[in-house]
Amino acid sequence: MTAQDTRARLVELIKEHQLEHGLTKLAIGDLAARAGISRQAFNRYYGDLKPYCLGQSVSTLLTEDPSSAQDFLLKREEEVLVLKAEIDSLKKQHKEDLTLAVNQHITTLMNNDILAFEANEMSTLLINQNQHNEMLKRKLTQMELERTRTAISSADNEITPGTSIKRAKNFLILATDLSKACEQFQKNQDFDAFEDSKDALINAHLDNLTKLPKPADTEIHIFQERYMSSFSNFAAALSAKEGKVVVVIQLPLYAQADLSIFLSRTKNFQHVAIHVPFCTSDAVIAANRKFLFRNIPENELADATKAKVPLTTWGFDEIRLFRIQ
């Protein structure tokens, strides 16, 4: 093969590469091997073709071969059209992406403004509501104090035969303070633990009853806690009795079985009465529970609501129902 034939072969290989891969780099070693010469021979005799191997267009070498030049140019035009289409598509996509990003940014800013406004409004509403609730609590506490003073004053001024002035020796109040149990329930939502705390308080009341010296001269008045009225007001309105010890117990028990167990521990006492509050107005019950018993677990309130009225067959000497206004 003559040097001219080798050169033509090299140009043909470069042309084929550029037609297939565009103006990309062609390794000289690969080109020389395909042409059947060494790399050193290429560098020595055909070094002027190196720029075309590095990506320069070979069209200038095809002036003597119009057919090849035309194919090459058509290929370039096709590539140009493809690139132009890709550029136009990218421009369009870029415009759409930019519009979407701007709209999303504006929407985000608007949403943030709306959320900030609503949060501020809600915060103001909660502050006002808390202030209103605190005012109602103060008024309710004041009313309870006034009612208690009135009841005490009335009891002192209107002592009838058979009654006595209330003293620590003849009038014992056993309140069941569930505030700590409720506080713990708000933290762990464990109703079983709440029930255990309540049982412990009730057992403490029973222990106190067993320490009384004269059960035969003692009356027990159970206030069945239904979470709709004040135990302190009930105890204040109850009278002491001459020659007897009166024990008033706040008892949040509702099932017959639980009450029977409690009564089994009080069978030696002279008289056991249970006082059951009731109210025909759901609105009054809801209001009293909201302001007086707001932390009581819902399960406990549900048990109190569903509880049946006790019967004398359960073991009580007396059952009294009193209306809550």
pLDDT score at 153: 59
pLDDT reported for residue 111: 80
Structure confidence at residue 159 (pLDDT):
47
Contact 228, 324 (CB under 8 A): yes
Give one DSSP letter per residue of 143-191, joined into a string. HHHHHHHHHHHHHHH-PPTTEE---TTTEEEE----HHHHHHHHHH--H
* Neighbouring residues of 276: CB distance < 8 A, sequence distance ≥ 6: 224, 226, 309, 310, 319, 320, 321, 322
Q: How far is CA 32 from CA 43, 118, 247, in A?
A: 10, 76, 116
Q: Closest Cα to residue 289, out of 305, 273, 276?
A: 305
Q: State whether residue 139 is helix, strand or coil.
A: helix
Q: What is the pTM of this model?
A: 0.51
Task: Please provide the distance, in angstroms rounded to a whole number, between the alpha carbons at the two ends of the chain.
Answer: 123
Given a contact cutoff of 8 angstroms between Cβ atoms, the answer to whether 274 and 310 are in contact is: yes
Q: CA-to-CA distance for 70 and 72, rounded, in angstroms?
A: 5
CA distances from 250 to 131, 147, 188 (A): 31, 19, 25
Which residue ranges make up each domain of the chain?
3-61, 86-158, 160-323
The two structure tokens encoding residue 222: 């159970």
State residue 55 phi and psi, 5-degree precision.
125, -5
* Per-residue model confidence as pLDDT tens for the chain (325 residues): 788 999 989 999 999 998 888 888 999 999 999 999 999 999 999 999 999 999 888 877 776 566 666 666 666 667 767 777 888 888 889 888 888 888 887 777 778 888 888 888 888 888 988 888 888 888 887 887 777 666 555 555 544 556 678 887 889 999 999 999 999 999 999 998 999 999 999 999 999 998 898 898 899 999 999 999 999 999 999 999 888 899 999 999 998 889 998 999 898 898 999 999 999 899 999 999 988 898 999 999 999 999 999 998 999 999 999 999 8
Ramachandran sector of residue 73 (left: φ over 0; alpha: ψ -120 to 50; beta: rest): alpha
pLDDT for position 142:
80
Q: What fold does the segment set 3-61 form as a domain?
A: Arc Repressor Mutant, subunit A (1.10.10)
Rounded-to-integer distance, Cα 123 and Cα 173, Å: 43
Q: Specify the pLDDT at position 273.
A: 96
- CATH of 160-323 among 3.30.450, 2.60.40, 3.30.43, 3.40.50: 3.40.50
Q: Looking at beta carbons, which pairs linking 124-131 to residues 24 or more positions away fall under 8 Å?
A: none
